[in-house]
Amino acid sequence: MQRTRAMSDHQQEYNATWIQRYGEPIPAGTLTTLWSLSVAIFSIGGMLSSFCVGFVSEWLGRRKGMLINNMFAFVGGSLMGLSKLCGSFEMLILGRFVIGLYCGLASGLTPMYVGEIAPTSLRGALGTLHQLAIVTGILIAQILGLESLLGLRRLTGRQEVGSMLAEMKEEKRKMDMERKVSILELFRSKLYRQPIMISIMLQLSQQLSGIFYYSTSIFMKAGVQSPVYATIGAGVVNCAFTVVSLFLIERMGRRTLHMLGLGGMAICAVIMTLALALLERVPWMSYISMLAIFGFVAFFEIGPGPIPWFFVAELFSQGPRPAAMAVAGFSNWTANFIIGMCFQSVADATGPYVFLIFASLLIVFLILTFFLVPETRGKTFDQIAANFQQRSAGMMDMDLDLDMALDKPSTELDYLGEESNH
């Protein structure tokens, strides 16, 4: 998730640059448009690159794709870092676009890679680590791989890893042999249609909350004396509850945590609306609104923050997975772009009641999750696929109550390796 902070500071810099160039203050409408574009251009980059996740993952591979993708981060960061020195808000906007390209690829390649190498019992926790890496700014996972015997021994704790290397080679062979599924086939095939719609719905539920834009301005409206520090506090809550999700994901399950997060976010959005609406008459409501934002952040990171990305990778096998990740990522960044472009105008028109719109959307997503989303905790890719096959035949099984053999393969690599022995 992209957090947009210090809105007024950047707008002042835009205004100063405009005065330096044209000798007059920037028109209010132009300033709003430039700022909205600066926010939303990040999502445009994400939309474009996320749609290329499938192609990049097949062309370069997951690991090499993540490594090369870091060039976008370097270029985008350099453009933004030099924009103030050069007195160019165009460089800032271009830099955010390039960073968006980087994030769009990373948000698809990383959970795909993690989901494929993670043991079934830890797939949710390791998938949550991706979100933890995002919120803490640590991207170490993008430079780690399975290139050497030493690295493989340290990763697995085994001294004899020859069989695992053989399994990986077999996986590569099967990936090359497995028929790739196009984006159109995802929607045409009854087998893939339901999981791809679930994937899109989960991505929309993550982005259409909207509260993470302009968080500092929200604290300012709430009358907080030091809104920047309050925003930093929200960031601390953000990281802390991502860690909480890391420990809960394999105990409570993906579906339960996602619904808990959506419900909590909806309640916090309503509380924030009431607090901001009553602020002029009840000054201490500023503290309630601040706590509501902290609560919203906490509930987001418990479920809707980390879960949608790796959940998509769990719903699909090797063949359709790249195309599914591309569609899901494109949906996520499209929603991000819409919120980035429209939030400020809608907020200006509706005032504090803008959050009732998001609360309504969250309730809708909560209902859809309850009726449509299966639980995948502790299930192999094969069992998850079998569940959707049953659904397409009219056999509904929300909890995936399939018998699990004691010697079931623990990773997708193990599953493919077992197949090669038959």
How sure is the predictor about 174, in pLDDT bands with cuts at 50, 70 and 90?
low
Q: Cα–Cα distance between 237 and 166 in angstroms, integer?
A: 43
The per-residue DSSP string of 101-149 comes to HHHHHHHHHHHHHHHHHS-GGGHHHHHHHHHHHHHHT--GGGG----SH
Query: Does pLDDT of 341 surpass 80?
Result: no
Q: Cα–Cα distance between 376 and 371 in angstroms, integer?
A: 15
pLDDT in tens, 126-136: 667 666 666 66
pLDDT in tens, 10-20: 566 777 777 77
Contacts 24+ apart (CB under 8 A), 280-286: 283/223, 285/222, 286/222, 286/223, 286/224
Which of 39-43, 188-192, 354-358, 380-384 has the least mean pLDDT?
380-384
Architecture of the CATH domain 7-142+179-394 = Up-down Bundle (1.20)
pLDDT in tens, 313-339: 788 877 788 888 888 888 888 888 888
User: What single DSSP character describes residue 159?
Assistant: S
The per-residue DSSP string of 173-220 comes to HHHHHSPP--HHHHHH-HHHHHHHHHHHHHHHHHHTT-TTTTHHHHHH
Show me where the domains of the chain are located: 7-142+179-394
- Mean pLDDT for 382-400 is 62
pLDDT in tens, 64-116: 888 988 899 899 988 888 887 787 778 888 998 999 899 888 888 888 887 77
pLDDT in tens, 219-266: 676 666 666 667 777 778 888 888 888 888 888 888 999 999 999 999
Which of 42-51, 304-313, 342-351, 397-406 has the least mean pLDDT?
397-406
